[in-house]
Structure 1
């Protein structure tokens, strides 16, 4: 009995000493720093103060945004340069609101910007970029600012964004540039189909980026992949409206990093301008695209379900009568089925100086939605590849 009592006392003693460490991780509520959830009061300073407090903490810390609308009236720059903490969680139950007047952000080009951070995780919440006024300006042909990306990560590592909704961004919704190991999961991204330059997610100069279980409806690319992207995994993505998933535009610069090891798996495109696209400028470059897999993809009334376009030259400026230097090779299309809103269901318009090679088609079935039930066709230029299984429309090789 005495032995059992002694053991019980020891367990209680250990519990009492260990309990503070279990609850020692600090939480910083932005309202404690002066943020008001009225959607009118500028909460920028409060958010920066909460970030500073979390960075100074020696244990993993949480920044908490409760329910309500919190106006962030200017560029919110969250730097990891002097941040001691590599485990900061930002948990959002409310909505972060950008100014409705696009001039308020001026020429910052970013609304929420993280740079050189490590171990930042964002869970839940909504970003409302209020981009309608800027889109109207751009669509009118007037001279307008470029606009601000809603959420940007630069030169950062081990990033998680989960359960976030991004609405009506002025420009890109989410930008990942120069980052390693980023997970973007369960995202809801939305903007009207006529909103210009509102790419859902743009990735460049980054490796180990995963995009999963997300829906993107926007006015530009659902996911755009720029120079220097590698080891990119996209799975269970719904896209539409929008311009599809686009590798490119690539090849603007003569010295440009290539794109490699990209997997797009289990994706659905509904009413989009493109499905899966590779796009390069028609100008000299040492860039490349290689080792790309598009698999288990469903197309519903898509204008260009499968397309490689290496003759991109809008308005015939800066690139007429030139040939793309970007080398496209080892691109595989596997189990892609559905409907095309044009007869050209597959287009491979490759470079005359650097023909596409290693294009692989397997189990493709793309039919034409036209009521006359015309057959779909494949168009090929300077492309070499192989086919296996059932491929419709019939490939060019």
Structure 2
């Protein structure tokens, strides 16, 4: 198993040095919120036009009303958010104007790109997506509803830092990171809870999703949400996640990938360590679509195509390490804390569809995990790999978890097509869906 602590330590030091390298600013723009409460976006764009190169942009200690989409690019800039950016509640407007991000039917309300940018909030700056109106809309009941937007997309952002920001009630995914590299995202707090009593945490409000991006470091995150805390999707490489706490999430998701027929996608070199999970469904799991494209209309009227159907993609997942995890009251229904599936949302009526993927999964390690688990019987792991390319190098070591219900030690591992497991024994066979 390849380990990379020295590589990531070097990368983190290089990213942190970006801020100290920024020179004093002679051109400073203070963004004003219009006194009549109207859209602040024209003022934001004017500030970026004037100070978006070699400058400093300051959002003061007030609330900025955001009613228009933005597509911006900055160079060698500090962006200081001291107040709150609050998106309008006009669902129809955003459905008609949100910006496509080039993946599935996903869209966003702000594409934030640039090079050598420091976007920071000092623990105070807040992005408020006004997501409550989305959570209460029928739209929220359909996965990946067309043009339900991400709160922000870091697109073509390089050699930059995003630090000390709070994100509240995102409309859908909180942030997507696409075609970006060499980023440090530190001290981020996300809370996407539904404010109605008893309604819990809405789906599709991931903390972050990475696509076509390399060398990303997530440190000191706190995420409260009803979906993935951080999800690494197509062509995510050299990702480091450390010192994070996740509440009510689906955990760390590697995927899904292989949704697009004949497209080549990878996830490679991911390390997550020192992570605490509270009341989450899983800790860290991998998911690929089957090798045979199939329709699945369960989650929306979209036919046999992405975002909620597909398959037949090519590629691999390789070299993932999940270590030093603490889990509390984790698990739900059939979910085990650790899992692999290679027939995500597959059409069960197609014979042997769960053995059809050609996407190789190899060198995946879970190590030093402790805590409590619920609703999983005796199963800690469920590894459903494809018969076409069985998983290799699957390793589990030093796992000490007990049942919430009776305090018993859990140690079961369900396996299908796992070649020579390391550190554990398969005690049963996975279900095929």
For the aligned pair, the TM-score class normalised by the smaller chain equals 0.7 to 0.9
2:268 match:
260
Q: What is the deviation of 1:319?
A: 9.9
Q: TM-score, normalised by structure 1?
A: 0.84
1:110 match:
108
Q: Does 1:325 align with 2:322?
A: no
2:70 match:
76
Post-superposition Cα deviations, 1:331-358, rounded to whole Å, max 9, x if no partner, equal: 0111111122112221111111111100
Contact map agreement 1:275 1:306 (CA 8 A) in 2: yes
Post-superposition Cα deviations, 1:18-75, rounded to whole Å, max 9, x if no partner, equal: xxxx8653210012xxx2378x3210100000010113x5xx3110001111001011
The alignment partner of 1:87 has SS state of strand
Contact map agreement 2:267 2:316 (CA 8 A) in 1: yes
Q: Partners of 2:144 and 2:393 in 1: how far apart?
A: 44
Q: What is the deviation of 1:104?
A: 2.4
Q: Does 1:180 align with 2:181?
A: yes
1:50 match:
47
Alpha carbons of structure 1 residues 372 and 30: separation in structure 2 relative to 1, 3 Å: closer
Q: Does 1:359 align with 2:394?
A: yes
Q: Partners of 1:356 and 1:266 in 2: how far apart?
A: 26
Q: TM-score, normalised by structure 2?
A: 0.78
Contact map agreement 1:134 1:144 (CA 8 A) in 2: no
Q: Does 1:231 align with 2:238?
A: yes
Q: Partners of 2:34 and 2:396 in 1: how far apart?
A: 55
Alpha carbons of structure 1 residues 353 and 154: separation in structure 2 relative to 1, 3 Å: same
Q: Residues 227-376 of structure 1: matches in 2 within 5 Å?
A: 227-253=234-260, 254-283=262-291, 284-303=312-331, 304-313=336-345, 316=348, 321=353, 323-341=356-374, 342-343=376-377, 344-371=379-406, 373=408, 375-376=410-411
Size of the aligned set, in residue pairs, is 359
The alignment partner of 2:48 has SS state of helix
* Greater gyration radius: 1
Ranges in structure 2 where 5+ consecutive residues have no aligned partner: 1-22, 99-106, 194-199, 292-311, 429-433
Q: Partners of 1:260 and 1:285 in 2: how far apart?
A: 16
1:93 match:
82
Among 223, 227, 231, the residue aligned to 1:216: 223
Q: Partners of 2:257 and 2:372 in 1: how far apart?
A: 28
The alignment partner of 2:115 has SS state of coil
1:131 match:
131
Among 31, 34, 37, the residue aligned to 1:36: 34
Post-superposition Cα deviations, 1:134-153, rounded to whole Å, max 9, x if no partner, equal: 22223456996541111111
Q: CA RMSD in A?
A: 2.4
Alpha carbons of structure 1 residues 315 and 127: separation in structure 2 relative to 1, 3 Å: farther
Contact map agreement 1:227 1:257 (CA 8 A) in 2: yes
The alignment partner of 1:325 has SS state of coil
Contact map agreement 2:85 2:127 (CA 8 A) in 1: yes
Contact map agreement 2:343 2:353 (CA 8 A) in 1: no
The alignment partner of 1:53 has SS state of helix
Contact map agreement 1:368 1:376 (CA 8 A) in 2: no
Q: What is the deviation of 1:242?
A: 1.1
2:15 match:
none
**Bigger RCO of structures 1 and 2 (CA < 8 A, at least 6 apart):** 2
Q: Partners of 2:35 and 2:243 in 1: how far apart?
A: 34
1:163 match:
164
Among 198, 206, 214, the residue aligned to 2:213: 206
Q: What is the deviation of 1:376?
A: 4.5
Q: Partners of 2:216 and 2:143 in 1: how far apart?
A: 36
Q: Partners of 1:229 and 1:142 in 2: how far apart?
A: 22
